[in-house]
Amino acid sequence: MRSDHEAPGAARPGPAGLTAEPPADFAVRVLRRAGVPRETYDTYVRLDTAVGALFVAASPEAVTGAALDTDGSTATAFEELHRARTGRSALRSARAFPGVVTALRTGRARRLPIDLSPHGPVERAVLEAVRSVPVGQLRPVGWIAQEAGTAPEAVAGAVAQNPAAVLIPSHRVTYDDGTPCDAAHLPDTGDALRAAEGIDLRRVAELHRRGVVFLGSDTTRIYCHPTCAHARRITPPHQVPFSTAREAGLAGYRACRSCRPLTV
């Protein structure tokens, strides 16, 4: 019934709350109340990173997918991509999978459970090798292939199928000439991810132009990949360049136990 003080044709407010945005986990609450088992669907959140927002989906046991919105993904596009990859629906949630926020903050996601079961054994081996590359460091395709026990030709294809952007750090992989293997990202995105980790690609490129693949220390007699934490501590007067592991070995240098350059 219209009040005498209400102007004719004035819009009447509806019940409180109907025009408000629903909670992030509204759909999840509905399914939970309806008794739908949590194991039958995944949930996802949108988290901020140094290079933009990241959609991260998870089952109750593991992360099942992640994509950056800087690569053209929207919430709807991510839901569709996730269903195509996994055959499972992903519903928006307010709570991230345990450990995801810490992994993004530190760049260390090696122990984070990530479900790679939709991929074949070669792809899984390559992606696990990529996961082992420490934050702020780079590894060439040859190193990834050796760690995965596969041919170098298989690495780029597996990296292009990376189902968990950033959490599986494919931006830390380079071709053997030092150029980034950004098969899973737009080039600008890969550059931004590396810059956020303090990786100086110009220095790496300059070393490769000079034929320098490894750096040794004339004090410790150990040689490393140039981005290895140990190599970054070698002061210029004590740096010894090498183009191959064999050359370093013949000079009496030992391979770093951290970055394991001898496997290349």
Helix, strand, coil % over all residues of the chain, rounded to 5: 35, 15, 45
Distance CA 59, CA 87 (A): 12
Radius of gyration of the chain (CA): 24
Dump pLDDT digits (tens) for 193-204.
999 999 998 888
Greatest CA separation for the chain? 99
Query: Is 169 among the domain residues?
Result: yes
Query: Is 3 among the domain residues?
Result: no
Give yes or no for residue 1 having a pLDDT over 50: no
Percent of the chain with pLDDT over 90: 72
Query: Is 214 among the domain residues?
Result: yes
pLDDT at 6: 46
Dump pLDDT digits (tens) for 101-125.
999 999 999 999 999 999 999 999 9
Question: Which one of 204, 219, 235 terminates a domain?
Answer: 204
Same domain, yes or no, for 101 and 126? no
Q: Which of 203, 208, 224, 207 is nearest to 176 (CA)?
A: 208
Same domain, yes or no, for 238 and 189? no
CB atoms within 10 A of CB 80: 13
- What CATH number has the domain bearing residue 220? 3.40.10.10
Query: Is 149 among the domain residues?
Result: yes
Instruction: Tell me the average pLDDT across 216-228.
Output: 96
Strands 90-92 and 173-174: unpaired
pLDDT at 186: 76
Question: Which one of 158, 185, 204 terminates a domain?
Answer: 204
Concatenated DSSP letters of 166-235: TTB-GGGEE-TTS-B--TTS-HHHHHHHHHHTT--HHHHHHHHHTT--EEEETTTTEEE-TTSHHHHTS-
**Exposure class string for 103-128: b at 16+ Cβ within 10 A, else e:** bbeebebeebebbbeebeebbebbbb
Total domains in the fold of the chain: 3
Q: Which domain holds residue 94?
A: 26-106
Question: Which one of 204, 219, 241 terminates a domain?
Answer: 204
Query: Is 60 among the domain residues?
Result: yes
Query: Is 13 among the domain residues?
Result: no
Percent of the chain with pLDDT over 70: 84
Give yes or no for residue 162 having a pLDDT over 60: yes
pLDDT at 3: 44
Query: Is 33 among the domain residues?
Result: yes
Q: Which three-class secondary structure state does DSSP give residue 240? A: strand
SS (H, E, C) 57-112: EECCCCEEEEEEHHHCCCHHHHHHHHHHHHCCCEEECCCCCCCHHHHHHHCCCCCC
Same domain, yes or no, for 200 and 217? no
Query: Is 191 among the domain residues?
Result: yes
